[in-house]
Structure 1
Amino acid sequence: MPRFYQKERSKALTLAGAVIAVLLAVWWWQQRGAEKKFTPATVAPPAPSFLTDERTVFAQYGGSASCRDCHQEAFALWEKSNHALAERSVQPERDRVAFDPARSFKHGTQASEVLWTNDTATVTSTGLSGQPETHTVTRVIGNDPLRQFLVEFPGGRFQTLEASYDPHSNQWFNVYGNEDRRPGEWGHWTGRGMNWNFMCASCHNTRLRRNYDETSDSYQTTMAEVSVGCEACHGPLKAHNDWQNQFGKSGRKDPTVTKSSAAQILQDCGSCHARRSDLTGDFKPGDPFSDHFELTLVDYSERYYADGQVRDEDYEYGSFLGSRMHQRGVICLDCHDPHSAKTRLPGNFLCLRCHNGSDTNAPVINPVTHSFHKVFGYDTNGVLVNNDLMSYKPKEIKETGGECVNCHMPQTAYMQRHWRHDHGFTIPDPVLTKKFNIPNACNRCHQDKTVDWSVEYCDKWYGAKMNRPTRTRAEWIARAQQNDPAAREGLLDVLQREDSAYWRAALLGMLEPWAAQPEITAVLLRSLEHTNELVRG
């Protein structure tokens, strides 16, 4: 917390303690009254504080292979996807090429060597002792664009090696880049920061239980199925399989299947595709996201930029909740096939499926007159002359300024080789770059140009449209992050006009330094009555 706010924060904590004390007193008084009204026999027993036995839970799962016969098309798409290959055992047909022939590579002050012998993959790298140690690779996590490798340690631990493999270039590289992490550090591959059981396993597998034992500092991690299987998204299906086997030809409606709402589907995806804290370790599809996780929002940290662009490894869900797309009801499956996870159409064809006038909820966009760049399939007047999907290869286009995603979904590389699109659908704003060093898509591409050059063209092309509420909101958040006392009034003003639950929650969080002030306290307490759990939280 910035020094400027330390005194205010102390007041806020004192006030928060007082509020909690009052609430506890009210609760106690209510319970005291309840004790007089009910006999002990009618009082429900306390809910168990432990998870349901995993044998009971896992018995509800049928496994992805049980889906193949009835859902052949969906299964064929899934089994080649990054979800299906999220985690697996070492397979000679897939992995031998990475280890054979043997090779070594240097990274920072360290070196690693990989080798394939007798159908076994080994990696020699600097271990916890500070000396080279040879480990047998037991499992692989990830598929495209990179693969990481797991080795087994005492206490049921699996550790993720820093030596990673790029299958496209057939290259080994250090997933940390030039950080040169040292043995004994939290983030070294032998440390807790790269422990698979806690950091990776739950989103690379189906219905995982970490089973950490604090007394022995050990794990007995188990899962319903290795990799992200069908039931990781659809939930347990053993009952469905049994019913279909018995009554499938009867024509009756299957009582074991319920259709998820659009909002629930989005939360199911978000359970893994979010920067969040895991509160329960036992999410299953259909559960409310907020019952199991605390979502990371734009705040005083450096995890997000003030306009909502991703900065740290934030994944997609949080950014998307703050986007106009989410505000208009778009969900992941509108753009992504649920089984292959690929986009339903390539490049601009995907965006223009809605932004061509066919969807009354989406503004009509002519990509040429909107972007002021050359666009595949359009002439210079913005007339569509070629809509042949087979000839449209976005990755081969040299002049990429006319591609919607390059302006509104800029990419950031994580783990050195994994380029990910920002799902905040933000609007490039060089003015924010000039004032607060918030990146803009124009200068991401035109790296040889100045920010003033980008400001000039944005003003020329878009004029007053650039002075939009999202700019004002980002400015006040950025000023708060810079310890500007005037940000208090600015944040309050923006909050009053904000209709996005995500951004209301973020703005309320930004008011924390002034929480002890009566006006701010009242605002925060009113937020507890909001219909959205993000705002209430």
Structure 2
Amino acid sequence: MFKEWLRIAILFSPLLAVTAQDIDANITAQNRKPTSIADQISNASERAAFLALFLPTPPEQRLEQAQSFLTRFPQSSFLFQAYEVAARASFDLHDYNSGLNYAGKSLALLPENPLLLVSTADVEARQQRKEAAISHAQDAIEYLDRLSALSTVAPESWQDLKAKLKATAHFAEGRALLEEALELPKGERRTALLRNCLASLEEAQRLNSSDSEITYLLGLAQLSAEELLPAAASFLSTYKSKDTLAAKAFENFETIYKMLKLDGRESFESFVRRAEQQPRASSRSPSPPAAATEDRMVQRLADYAGSASCRGCHSRIYNNWSQTGMAKMLRPYSAQNVIGDFQSNNDFYLGDDARYVNGKVEVTRGQNRVPFAHMAIRDGRHYFDILQSDGKWHTYPVDYTIGSKFQQAYATKLPNGEIHVFPIQYNKLTKQWINYWKIIDAPGGERADLRSWEKLDGAAGYQAVCAVCHTSQLRNVEGRGFDMQNVEFREPGIDCEMCHGPSAQHVAEMIANQHFPKQPLDPPVNFHDVTNLDSVRICAQCHMQSALRTPGSAGELNFSRSGPFFITNLSIPFGEFSRIGFYKDGRFRQTTFIVEALERSQCFRKGQVSCVTCHDPHGPGASSNPTSLKFRDQPDLMCTGCHSQFENSARLAAHTHHRAASEASRCVSCHMPRIMDAVLFRARTHQIDDIPNAEMTEQFGQLDSPNACLLCHADKSSRWLKQELAAWKPTPRR
């Protein structure tokens, strides 16, 4: 069933989760350090059973071990790996139905698993599950383009492995499309399917030209499309490979010779030579057109005008933006910007424990607590006093404030220019000082240990950890990446040009009353003109936790000087992150994954939704509308722009099974419940779920698979929920 190289590649898949990356951290190639994710499993029996899944054993034994794990630990955070092992073992044993069932359960928990998607699509195509094969193959190709190399694969090996994986995905897609086409009579639909099939198979051959099975199937597709000479060339190439398809390929080659009725006009040997000279098919996938203004854009990308230059023409927008959390993300110290309590509740103790559970902060006073920090105001200036390991109190001034809406951190600037963030932050909602990193980081994280702060290393360094998302036009003037030295930023906070691009040339044009044609992504970007993909990519500069950040050639760290002004970062495979960032049902728990959550939604994938569909980054009333919602008071308008049928009250009530005017009939109540952890409060998920999944909640419980229905009906059980939803039509699905 599988090619040998694919069997080898499969061995990497269980290793998708061998590292545990911290949440709310800037991840680069330099600080992407592997640590055993199995250490997150506190139960010794579960940990041993989990590790046993990846031992090199026969498929029968691997399947038995996976089934045992699934039976013994049905609420594990690592079921997606166990299901994957069971799927692959079943495929090896030629039990394809069971394998696809296990694969489906794994992908429900971790959809972004291209290695499993490739194998699944390949099996589905061979089992003539055409629609599923096409869908999974396309998903695999998308994720292979979006995700970085697995941390367990050498960089020099990844590109070859990635090419072969993509080739197999295109092969599976092409096979399914060919079968669909051959079921139809001749006509436009069949012709279109064959065209798409040929494009997929030609791309597969380009990526893996040595695979004779791809070449043979391409020949069949070319023959079906009546491209006889290219088909003959493909069959001849397959015949020369001398593998198991050689005999069939030669028969098809002879058939084409007879179909062309060349007897007497061209000898068979001459036809062979002509087929050998036939050029290899090139991919039919269209190349994106070059931007008409590319040279002009590259020339001006280095020219940033600064946010103040926007005020003259866009005063209302500028004034609104200046009051937003984006503008206030980082500010040089000013006493009026401090929201923390530096006067009364202003001491912090080692030994106290703070936990964030089910949307609430729980602080437990330690029995052997000792002072660690005292926050004070002296002569109108704010300071942190910290008791360090030498037994002495050290005083540091507050030189910067970070954040302004829900929580605020503070930083001090050292004589060498490094900016370091104090290890405790002030939560405005709970009015408490907290060790925020200890709450959100995986157990054992360096920055969560308050006593390590005095090292003043990269773990608490603003330039290395925070600045890439909290400042604008960040760069290392020596081109050395995120090394804390020689790092500078053009503006604190998120300025106009982080989103709209470098606009000095635009300002000059407006002053001179000159107007030039521009492409949608030419600065300054008008978000109404760009695709939802590009729009979200611009927001993803800051709002994508999984981004693997790579410095630019001139030291740029969060912008680009050529091509698009924004950097499109690859994502670290989600299985490498600490499971604290996910619910056990696979949904994202932390808002740092807000873009990744949106990208899972059908609204984004099919409905062209982007961040600015619902949010206005410079709308009015930032203090009363801190999340910048366009439709804060009428949230259904976010959805009825596409789903206009639910503007009708009767249809809405029939859809929601609640009164149309009730909170339960608001679209966001069911499809975007408040289950994502922000800065110690619950925000709405952006995965935009389908009907609330009762089965997941019944398996994992409300805490680990929160269900929108039970957020309101808190006195009810998951069994009640399952019975209620069973009466709804259509049948509940994920």
The correspondence for 1:426, drawn from 689, 692, 713, is: 689
For residue 398 of structure 2, the aligned residue among 130, 137, 142 is 137
1:71 paired with 2:340, answer no
- The correspondence for 1:265, drawn from 535, 538, 550, is 535
Secondary structure of residue in 2 paired with 1:311: coil
Instruction: Write the letter of the residue equivalent to 2:502.
Output: P
Any idea what SS the aligned residue of 2:384 has?
Answer: strand
Distance 2:445 2:572 in 1: 30
Determine if the alignment matches structure 1 residue 455 to structure 2 residue 733: no
Confirm or deny that 1:276 pairs with 2:554: no
638, 656, 665: which one aligns with 1:371: 656
* Aligned mates of 2:320, 2:566 — CA distance in 1: 27
Question: Equivalent residues in 2 for 1:191-270 (5 A)?
Answer: 192-210=458-476, 218-247=484-513, 252-253=515-516, 257=524, 259=526, 260-262=529-531, 263-270=533-540
Question: By percentage of residues, which structure has more helix?
Answer: 2
Q: Aligned equivalents of 2:516 and 2:480: distance in 1?
A: 46
Q: Which amino acid aligns with 1:104?
A: D
1:292 aligns with 2:569: yes
Asked whether the equivalents of residues 547 and 570 of structure 2 are also in contact (C-alpha less than 8 Å), the reply is yes
Amino acid at match of 1:267: R
Provide the C-alpha distance between the structure 1 equivalents of 2:491 and 2:158, rounded to a whole number of angstroms.
47
What stretches of structure 2 of length at least 5 have no aligned partner? Answer: 1-14, 16-49, 58-84, 86-91, 93-114, 116-151, 165-205, 208-298, 354-368, 552-556, 620-626
Aligned positions of 1:75-474 closer than 5 A: 75-95=318-338, 98-100=341-343, 103-106=346-349, 107-108=352-353, 109=369, 111-127=372-388, 132-153=393-414, 156-167=417-428, 170-176=431-437, 185-188=446-449, 190=453, 192-210=458-476, 218-247=484-513, 252-253=515-516, 257=524, 259=526, 260-262=529-531, 263-281=533-551, 282-284=557-559, 287=564, 291-294=568-571, 296-297=573-574, 302=579, 303-305=581-583, 308-312=586-590, 314-326=592-604, 327-340=606-619, 342-346=628-632, 349-352=634-637, 354-355=639-640, 359=644, 366-374=651-659, 377=661, 400-412=663-675, 414=677, 417-427=680-690, 428-437=692-701, 438-460=705-727, 462-466=728-732, 468=733, 470=734
Residues 407 and 168 of structure 1, relative CA distance in 2, 3 Å threshold: same
Tell me how far apart the structure 1 counterparts of residues 306 and 610 of structure 2 sit (CA, whole Å): 26
**1:243–1:254: 8 Å Cα contact kept in structure 2?**
no
Amino acid at match of 1:320: L
CA deviations 1:365-387 (Å, max 9, x no partner) are 94443333455x46xxxxxxxxx
Do the aligned residues in 2 keep the contact of 1:235 with 1:284 (CA within 8 Å)? no
CA distance in 2, matches of 1:436, 1:289: 40
CA contact 1:367–1:402 (8 Å) conserved in 2: yes
Shift of 1:117: 1.6
Q: Is the 8 A contact 1:82 1:143 kept in 2?
A: yes
CA distance, structure 2, for counterparts of residue 159 and residue 153 of structure 1: 8
Give the TM-score taking structure 1 as reference length: 0.64
Distance 1:455 1:294, change over 3 A: same
Superposed CA offset, 1:447-485 (max 9, x none): 44322122222223x25520x3x3xxxxxxxxxxxxxxx
How many residues get paired?
413
- Encode CA deviations 1:509-536: one digit per residue, 9 max, x unaligned: xxxxxxxxxxxxxxxxxxxxxxxxxxxx
**Counterparts in 2 of 1:215 and 1:431: CA distance versus 1, 3 Å:** closer
Q: Is the 8 A contact 1:319 1:423 kept in 2?
A: yes
**1:130 touches 1:183 (CA, 8 Å); kept in 2?**
no
Cα offset for 1:295?
5.2
Larger radius of gyration: 2
Q: Deviations over 1:270-315 (max 9, x none)?
A: 1211122333234438739784332554679624347552124543
State whether residues 410 and 422 of structure 2, in contact with CA within 8 Å, keep that contact through their aligned partners in structure 1: yes
How far apart, CA to CA, are the structure 2 residues paired with 1:270 and 1:355? 25
Q: Which moved more, 1:166-175 or 1:324-333?
A: 166-175
- Relative to the length of structure 2, the TM-score reads 0.49
3-state secondary structure, aligned to 1:151:
strand
CA contact (8 A) 1:352 1:365 kept: no
TM-superposed CA distance for 1:137, in Å, is 1.0
Which residue number corresponds to residue 7 of structure 1? 56
CA RMSD of aligned residues (A): 4.4
CA distance in 2, matches of 1:18, 1:160: 36
Give the Cα–Cα distance (whole angstroms) in 2 for the partners of residues 215 and 232 of structure 1. 19
Distance, in Å, in 2 between the alignment partners of 1:182 and 1:301 is: 9
In the alignment, residue 618 of structure 2 is paired with which amino acid? H
How many angstroms does 1:199 deviate by? 1.7
Q: Deviations over 1:81-131 (max 9, x none)?
A: 111111101212222774346832444345432111223211123546676
SS class of match (1:284): coil
1:265 deviates by 1.3
CA 1:306–1:320 in 2, change beyond 3 Å: closer, same or farther?
farther
The alpha carbon displacement at 1:409 in A equals 1.7
Q: Are the aligned partners of 1:374 and 1:402 in contact in 2 as well (CA < 8 Å)?
A: yes
In structure 2, relative to structure 1, the CA distance for the partners of 1:179 and 1:345 (3 Å cut) is closer
Task: Rate the CA distance shift 1:412–1:216 in 2: closer, same or farther, 3 A.
Answer: closer
